Amino acid sequence: MKISEFQKLIEDIYFGRDSERGIMGTFAWFVEEVGELSHELRSGEDRGKLGDEFADVLAWLSTLASLAGVDLEEAAEKYSQGCPKCHKTPCMCHEG
């Protein structure tokens, strides 16, 4: 599935509810999902649950982008030529 297809699917499923909640309320749910992902990454016990948490974070990120009027597929183009700073793959920037 392409990023744009996923974003449209999430809009079809949740956009009405998420727009009623508003962008800041939806952002709070996103942060909670990131916390759940963090917990699963630290525990490392259940790979299936870890995949579910990644999917949840992606869905909440997608709905936030929709609420903000951002096309995620277009936004991802930032990385289409490699690192946005040095334009290399892998990145050759010096970490500081």
Check residue 62 and give its pLDDT.
98
Is 73 contained in some domain? yes
Count up the domains in the chain and report the number: 1
Domain membership of residue 29 as a residue range = 3-79
Check residue 90 and give its pLDDT.
96
Is 92 contained in some domain? no
pLDDT tens for 53-71 read 999 999 999 999 999 999 9
pTM listed for this prediction? 0.89
Check residue 47 and give its pLDDT.
83
Check residue 46 and give its pLDDT.
80
- In the block, tokens 């974003």 appear at 7
Check residue 10 and give its pLDDT.
98
Is 60 contained in some domain? yes
Is 23 contained in some domain? yes
* SS percent in the chain: helix, strand, coil, step 5: 75, 0, 25
- The residues of the chain scoring below 50 in pLDDT are none
Non-local CB neighbours of 14 within 8 Å, separated by 6+ positions: 59, 63
CATH number at 9 reads 1.10.287.1080
